[in-house]
Amino acid sequence: MTVAELILLGVGLAMDAFAVSITKGLQIRKTPVKEGFIIALFFGGFQALMPAIGYFLGQQFIDLIADYDHWIAFILLAAIGGKNIVDVLRDKDEGPEECPEYTTNYWELFLLAVATSIDALAVGITLALVSGVNLGESVTIIGVTTFLISYAGVFIGHFFGARFQKQATLAGGVILIILGLRILIQGLGGM
Q: Which of 5-9, 66-70, 143-147, 160-164 has the lowest mean pLDDT?
A: 160-164
pLDDT digits (tens, 9 = 90+) for 23-36: 788 777 777 889 99
- Predicted confidence at residue 57, as pLDDT, reads 84
- Predicted confidence at residue 132, as pLDDT, reads 79
- Predicted confidence at residue 163, as pLDDT, reads 59
Which long-range contacts does 57-66 make (Cβ < 8 Å, 24+ apart)?
57/121, 57/124, 57/125, 57/128, 58/124, 58/125, 58/126, 58/127, 58/128, 58/129, 59/128, 62/128, 62/129, 65/129
- Predicted confidence at residue 164, as pLDDT, reads 66
- Predicted confidence at residue 41, as pLDDT, reads 96
- Predicted confidence at residue 99, as pLDDT, reads 43
pTM of the predicted model as reported, rounded to 2 decimal places: 0.71
pLDDT digits (tens, 9 = 90+) for 102-154: 567 888 888 888 888 878 888 888 888 777 788 999 999 999 999 999 999 99
- Predicted confidence at residue 93, as pLDDT, reads 59
Q: How far from chain centre, in Å, is Cα 73?
A: 16
pLDDT digits (tens, 9 = 90+) for 54-111: 888 877 876 676 677 778 778 877 887 788 788 778 876 555 444 455 567 888 888 8
Name the band, by pLDDT with cuts 50, 70 and 90, for residue 40. very high
- Predicted confidence at residue 119, as pLDDT, reads 80
- Predicted confidence at residue 82, as pLDDT, reads 85
- Predicted confidence at residue 38, as pLDDT, reads 94
